[in-house]
Chain A
Amino acid sequence: MQDLLYFLQQLINGLTIGSTYALIAIGYTMVYGIIGMINFAHGEIYMIGAYTALIAITGLAALGIAWLPLILIVALVCAMIVSSSMGWAVERVAYRPVRGRHRLIPLISAIGMSIFLQNYVHLAQGSRNIGFPALIEGGFRFGSEDSFQTSISYMQITIFATTLICMSLLSLFISRSRIGRACRAVSQDLGMASLLGIDTNRIISATFVIGAALAAVAGLLLGMYYGSIDPLFGFIAGLKAFTAAVLGGIGSIPGAMLGGLILGVAESMTSGYLSGEYKDVVSFGLLILILLFKPTGLLGKPEVEKI
Chain B
Amino acid sequence: MAAHNLKHALFCAIVTLIVAYPILGFNLVSSGTDIILEGATTQTVISVLLAAVVVFLFQLFRDNIMALLGKAPALNPLANRQPMEQSKRLKLESTILTLIIIGALFWPFFVSRGSVDLATLVLIYIMLALGLNVVVGLAGLLDLGYVAFYAVGAYTFALLSQYYGVSFWFALPIGALLAALFGLVLGFPVLRLRGDYLAIVTLGFGEIIRILLNNMTSLTGGPNGIGGIPDPTLFGMEFGRRVKEEGNTSFHETFGIAYSSEHKIIFLYLIALVLAVFTALVIRRLMRMPVGRAWEALREDEIAARSLGLSRTSVKLSAFTIGAFFAGFAGTVFASKQGFISPESFVFLESAIVLAIVVLGGMGSQLGVILAAIAVTILPELAREFSEYRMLIFGAAMVLMMVWRPQGLMPMRRIHIELEKQE
Contact = CB atoms under 8 A, between A and B. Distances in A.
A and B touch in the complex (CB under 8 A): yes
Nearest to A287: B204
Contact of B394 (A55, A85, A112, A120): A112
Contacts of A123: 388-389, 392
Given A116-B395, A239-B204, A37 B30 contact: no
A105 to B, nearest CB: 5
A209 B389 CA distance: 28
Interface in B193-239: 193-197, 199-201, 203-205, 207-208, 211-212, 214-215
Nearest to A113: B399
Contacts of B397: 112
Nearest to A306: B303
B19 A86 contact: yes
B375 interface: no
B10 interface: no
Interface residues of B, number: 58
Contacts of B144: 111
A112 B19 contact: no
B104 interface: no
Nearest to A114: B395
Contacts of A89: 15-16, 19
Nearest to A36: B196
A77 interface: no
Given A112-B394, A112-B395, A284-B208, A58 B201 contact: no
Interface stretch (A156-164, A169-177, A252-260, A288-296): A288-296
Interface string B30-44: 100101110000000
Which one of B136, B197, B395 has the greatest number of beta carbons of chain A within 10 Å? Answer: B395
Contacts of B136: 104
B90 interface: no
B396 A103 contact: no
Given A103-B195, A307-B303, A108 B15 contact: no
Contacts of A287: 200-201, 204
B40 to A, nearest CB: 8
A54 B22 CA distance: 11
A246 B303 CA distance: 25
B392 A291 contact: no
B69 interface: no
A121 B35 CA distance: 17
Given A125-B28, A131-B35, A108 B211 contact: no
A277 interface: yes
Interface in A239-286: 239, 242, 246, 275, 277-278, 280-281, 284-285
Contacts of A277: 211, 214-215
Given A82-B19, A115-B394, A288 B33 contact: no
Interface residues of A, number: 69
Interface stretch (A19-27, A66-74, A90-98, A180-188): A90-98
Given A82-B19, A116-B399, A58 B35 contact: yes
Contact of B199 (A98, A107, A295): A107
A51 interface: yes
B23 A52 contact: yes
A187 to B, nearest CB: 17
Given A109-B398, A111-B352, A103 B196 contact: yes
A106 interface: yes
Contacts of B396: 112, 116
Q: Is the interface of B mostly helix, strand, loop or mixed?
A: helix
B193 A295 contact: yes
A118 B398 contact: no
Which one of A78, A105, A116, A125 has the greatest number of beta carbons of chain B within 10 Å? Answer: A116
Nearest to A59: B37
Nearest to A109: B402
Given A108-B402, A291-B193, A54 B395 contact: no
Contacts of B22: 52, 55-56, 78, 82
Nearest to B24: A124
A112 B399 contact: yes
Contacts of B388: 123
B355 A108 contact: yes
B359 interface: yes
A303 to B, nearest CB: 9
Contact of B197 (A114, A280, A291): A291
A131 B33 contact: yes
A195 interface: no
Given A51-B23, A85-B19, A292-B193, 9 more contacts: A37-B196, A38-B196, A58-B28, A82-B22, A86-B19, A116-B392, A116-B396, A116-B399, A125-B28
14 contacts: A55-B37, A89-B16, A94-B399, A98-B403, A101-B406, A102-B140, A105-B406, A107-B142, A108-B398, A109-B403, A111-B352, A111-B398, A128-B30, A292-B189
The 10 closest A-B pairs by CB, nearest first: A112-B398, A116-B395, A115-B395, A284-B204, A109-B402, A119-B392, A112-B399, A85-B18, A58-B37, A97-B403
Interface of B: 15-16, 18-19, 22-24, 26-28, 30, 33, 35-37, 136, 140, 142, 144, 189-190, 193-197, 199-201, 203-205, 207-208, 211-212, 214-215, 303, 348, 352, 355-356, 359, 388-389, 391-392, 394-399, 401-403, 406
